[in-house]
């Protein structure tokens, strides 16, 4: 096998600098908003004469829905990170030597993504200035505490892995890769456990743990398919499309696994009488009573603009996130076309983001039954911060609402831009990109012709 | 080498770099662990030798709770300087609809259940939610990082996060000047008026009590009864004896969750 050479890009084109400025600027805006959240409080709302008035309430979170977009993005980034790490380990752990060119890139991306995940979590805290506390006051009974350890060790393993790759020490690359894959699964199981182990009807489920790992693998693979092509094109490096097709086969398998887990979990919840009502809420939104009585219009008209998790489930996750990409990747005519593979990957990246949303949010907005079988109404003493949809004859512990605020979106975009910014810097500063990537000639006789096409 | 590719890092410098990164990480971990090695400070509410550990219980009799009375809420606010837009204790109306259109309706205050097996303590990543020696669950707001895992973990929805600074001022008339105004960015909840109990024990009151129970007694309803079950003449012990005599059951909210609440309800 030919030796693979890695080389940094020159990074002198004007497009490169424009990209740096755009993503750096977005990141700066995100950090500014984050500072406001920290300084004024997550739920601060500027008065009418305040300059913060156009931002509205800084976050849409409330007493009933204390975890919002920050946590959604955090678990999304962790998934992407674990996925891209597994792809980079394909060559050394699973013996798929032709994927070696993507090794360095994958690990670098996975380090950036785990940093982004940690930032999303920490900047979402009420007191991010107390960042050392989780390390000082370790609570072994808390999954969050255990995850603190898992995440930081994961980041450290990522750095070691990258170092070993730069040193081109094959023996150590293999060993660390094995550890890294094991640890990535551990990290993801730990994250799934936080939700699966919580006493809420739509959370409490051991199945969340493996389904987190599956969603991580599918979204990570989809992301790396897109990132590889964009970077190779922008850097004018040769890329053998057979490699992308190989990755897409992997993606197809992961999508089917995700779909399987979702089906099992929802069928189970609908089957067991205890959680059936919660399941109807999950599938049909807050007007599920009307929907079940045949009034399908109620499905599309939630009382609160924020309670749209059922759209995200049916359209975002089921249609765009699993069914359509699975069809694309299994239909013979489409699965060999790079354009269709890219479309499927993009769909999976979006679909898994929706999956993260519908894991985090409906579990909280679902009604809380303080007394089983009875309505509990707080007439005059309902918290102003409760975020409960209150009608005259409504149940106070009923469906809560969560509206994503502008600042939360700016913060999420800022952290995402920081990842892109650091990735752009990384490909210039380090030898991450291979000079060319091609499939093993024994496996694909069509190699020469396809790499020919990619030249221009 | 005529090769344009840079020379890869050799083995020695790789090991050197790896060791440095590793040593740095271990050292920084070690440094942050130092304060934890120091002795945990003494917590309030510790029992001394002559006094057995108290078993605090609150018994709420929904049959005696009056619909439009809000004295317990007011008392709680004044005692604890609760955030103006939040309620540590709430007046709940519990409605059970019967088949023929009739409704069974009772009212009762609902507050932190002070579980013996508290999920909020279990999930707290920094041990900011701690259990005092007398089993009261309290929050160290100077340690809390505001991750809100406890708010998620609480099945009763009574752990509350301060999303912004309390608009009430310390100089307001209905505020207790002894306790601070609640800061934003941390989670808090009812702590059975822990500091009030400590103060009353210190001045030698025979049966320390919470602000809400005192207010309910002052209003003449006696719906909230609080006391130490280790003392046979405490209000809670007397109430339990009365319930035993009349064969009335008291139970906690959602005991199926395994949280073992210290607040027991009659008539729910």
pLDDT of A169 higher than 90:
no
Q: How many angstroms separate the CA atoms of B261 and B112, rounded?
A: 9
* Chain A closest-CA separation from residue B162 CA (Å): 8
Task: Determine, for residues B254 and A375 on separate chains, whether the beta-carbon distance falls below 8 Å.
Answer: no
* Low-confidence winner among A60-74, A216-230, A283-297, A371-385 (lowest mean pLDDT): A371-385
On chain B, the residues whose CB falls within 8 A of the CB of A37 are: none
User: Where are the extended beta strands (E) located within A41-144?
Assistant: none
Q: What is the pLDDT of residues A197-215, one digit of tens each?
A: 998 889 989 999 999 899 9
pLDDT reported for residue A436: 79
pLDDT reported for residue B214: 95
pLDDT of A139 higher than 70:
yes
pLDDT reported for residue B47: 54
Average pLDDT over residues B156-172: 84
ipTM of the complex: 0.88
Report the residue of B62, B92, B122 to disrupt the A interface, i.e. the one with the largest count of A CBs within 10 Å. B92
Q: How many angstroms separate the CA atoms of A139 and A147, rounded?
A: 11
pLDDT of A311 higher than 80:
yes
Q: How many angstroms separate the CA atoms of A282 and A279, rounded?
A: 5
Name the average pLDDT for chain A: 87
More confident residue, B19 or A30: A30
Average pLDDT over residues B166-182: 75
pLDDT reported for residue A253: 94
Q: How many angstroms separate the CA atoms of B197 and B208, rounded?
A: 5
pLDDT of A366 higher than 60:
yes
pLDDT of A455 higher than 50:
no
Q: How many angstroms separate the CA atoms of A456 and A454, rounded?
A: 6
Calculate the alpha carbon distances from A456 to A102, A341, B30, B133 in Å.
Answer: 21, 20, 54, 73
| Confidence band for B112, pLDDT divided at 50, 70 and 90 | very high
| Confidence band for B140, pLDDT divided at 50, 70 and 90 | very high
Task: Determine, for residues B185 and A378 on separate chains, whether the beta-carbon distance falls below 8 Å.
Answer: no
Maximum average pLDDT range among A22-31, A81-90, B16-25: A22-31
More confident residue, B215 or B20: B215
Structure tokens at A248: 């897409």
Token pair 């499309």: residue: A241
pLDDT reported for residue A220: 92
Average pLDDT over residues B77-94: 89
pLDDT of B264 higher than 50:
yes
pLDDT reported for residue A333: 85
β-bridge pairing B56-61 and B187-188 = unpaired
Per DSSP, A80 falls in state H
Report the residue of B17, B76, B185 to disrupt the A interface, i.e. the one with the largest count of A CBs within 10 Å. B185
Report the residue of B163, B186, B259, B261 to disrupt the A interface, i.e. the one with the largest count of A CBs within 10 Å. B163
Question: In this complex, which of A163, A200, A378 lies closest to B91 when CB atoms are compared?
Answer: A378
Question: In this complex, which of A63, A143, A160 lies closest to B123 when CB atoms are compared?
Answer: A143
Q: How many angstroms separate the CA atoms of A293 and A290, rounded?
A: 5
Average pLDDT over residues A379-388: 78
pLDDT of A11 higher than 80:
no
* Chain B closest-CA separation from residue A73 CA (Å): 15
Token pair 């995940």: residue: A117
For B112, how many CA atoms within 13 A lie in the half-sphere containing its CB? 29
Q: What is the pLDDT of residues B29-43, one digit of tens each?
A: 666 555 554 444 555
Q: What is the pLDDT of residues B194-239, one digit of tens each?
A: 989 999 988 989 999 999 999 999 999 999 999 999 999 999 999 9
More confident residue, B248 or A6: B248
Maximum average pLDDT range among A394-403, B21-30, B159-168: B159-168
pLDDT reported for residue B149: 94
């Amino acid at each position: 096998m030919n030796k693979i050479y890695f080389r940094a890009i020159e990074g002198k084109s004007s497009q490169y600098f424009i990209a740096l400025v755009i993503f750096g600027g977005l990141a700066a805006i995100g950090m500014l908003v984050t500072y406001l959240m920290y300084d004024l409080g997550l739920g601060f709302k500027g008065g009418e004469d305040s300059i913060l008035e156009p931002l509205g309430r800084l976050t849409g979170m409330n007493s009933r829905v204390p975890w919002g977009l920050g946590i959604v993005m955090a678990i999304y980034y962790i998934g992407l990170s674990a996925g891209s790490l597994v792809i980079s380990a394909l060559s050394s752990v699973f013996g798929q030597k032709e994927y070696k060119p993507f090794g360095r890139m994958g690990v670098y991306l996975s380090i950036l993504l785990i940093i982004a995940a940690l930032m999303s979590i920490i900047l979402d805290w009420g007191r991010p200035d107390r960042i050392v506390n989780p390390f000082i006051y370790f609570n072994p009974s808390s999954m969050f505490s255990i995850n603190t350890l898992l995440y930081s060790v994961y980041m450290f393993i990522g750095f070691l892995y990258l170092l070993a790759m730069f040193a081109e020490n094959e023996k150590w690359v293999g060993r660390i890769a094995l550890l890294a894959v094991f640890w990535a699964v551990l990290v993801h199981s730990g994250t799934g456990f936080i939700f699966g182990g919580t006493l809420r009807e739509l959370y409490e489920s051991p199945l969340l743990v493996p389904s987190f790992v599956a969603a991580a693998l599918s979204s990570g693979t989809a992301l790396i398919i897109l990132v590889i092509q964009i970077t190779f094109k922008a850097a004018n490096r040769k890329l053998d499309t057979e490699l992308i097709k190989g990755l897409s086969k992997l993606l197809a398998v992961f999508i089917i696994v995700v779909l399987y887990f979702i089906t099992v979990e929802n069928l189970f919840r609908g089957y067991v009488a205890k959680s059936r009502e919660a399941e109807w809420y999950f599938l049909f939104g807050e007007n599920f009573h009307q929907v079940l009585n045949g009034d399908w219009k109620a499905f599309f008209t939630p009382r609160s603009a924020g309670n749209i998790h059922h759209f995200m489930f049916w359209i975002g996750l089921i249609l765009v996130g699993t069914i359509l990409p699975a069809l694309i990747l299994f239909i013979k005519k489409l699965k060999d076309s790079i354009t269709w593979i890219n479309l499927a990957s993009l769909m999976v990246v979006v679909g898994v983001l929706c999956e993260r949303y519908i894991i985090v949010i409906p579990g909280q907005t679902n009604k809380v039954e303080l007394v089983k079988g009875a309505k509990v109404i707080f007439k005059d003493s309902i918290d102003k911060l409760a975020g409960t949809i209150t009608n005259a004859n409504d149940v106070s512990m009923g469906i809560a609402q969560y509206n994503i605020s502008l600042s939360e979106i700016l913060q999420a975009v800022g952290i995402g831009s920081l990842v892109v910014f650091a990735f752009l810097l990384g490909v210039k500063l380090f030898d991450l990109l291979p000079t060319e990537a091609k499939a093993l000639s024994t496996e694909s006789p069509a190699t020469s012709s396809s790499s020919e096409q990619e030249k221009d | 080498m005529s090769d344009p590719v840079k020379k890869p890092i050799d083995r020695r410098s790789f090991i050197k770099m790896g060791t440095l990164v590793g040593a740095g990480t271990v050292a920084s971990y070690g440094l942050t662990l130092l304060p934890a090695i120091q002795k945990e400070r003494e917590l309030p509410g510790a029992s001394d030798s002559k006094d057995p550990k108290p078993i605090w219980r609150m018994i709420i009799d929904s049959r005696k709770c009056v619909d439009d009375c809000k004295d317990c809420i007011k008392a709680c606010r004044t005692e604890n300087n609760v955030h103006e837009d939040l309620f540590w204790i709430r007046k709940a109306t519990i409605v059970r609809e019967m088949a023929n259109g009739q409704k069974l309706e009772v009212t009762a205050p609902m507050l932190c259940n002070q579980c013996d097996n508290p999920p909020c303590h279990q999930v707290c990543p920094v041990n900011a939610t701690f259990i005092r020696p007398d089993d009261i669950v309290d929050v160290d707001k100077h340690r809390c990082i505001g991750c809100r895992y406890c708010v998620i973990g609480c099945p009763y929805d009574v752990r509350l996060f301060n999303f912004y600074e309390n608009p009430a001022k310390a100089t307001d008339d209905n505020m207790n000047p002894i306790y601070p105004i609640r800061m934003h960015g941390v989670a808090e909840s009812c702590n059975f008026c822990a500091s009030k109990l400590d103060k009353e024990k210190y001045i030698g009151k025979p049966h320390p009590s919470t602000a809400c129970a005192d207010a309910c007694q002052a209003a003449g309803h006696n719906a909230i009864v609080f006391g130490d079950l280790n003392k046979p003449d405490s209000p809670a012990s007397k109430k339990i004896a009365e319930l035993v005599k009349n064969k009335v059951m008291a139970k906690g909210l959602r005991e199926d969750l395994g949280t073992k609440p210290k607040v027991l309800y009659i008539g729910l």
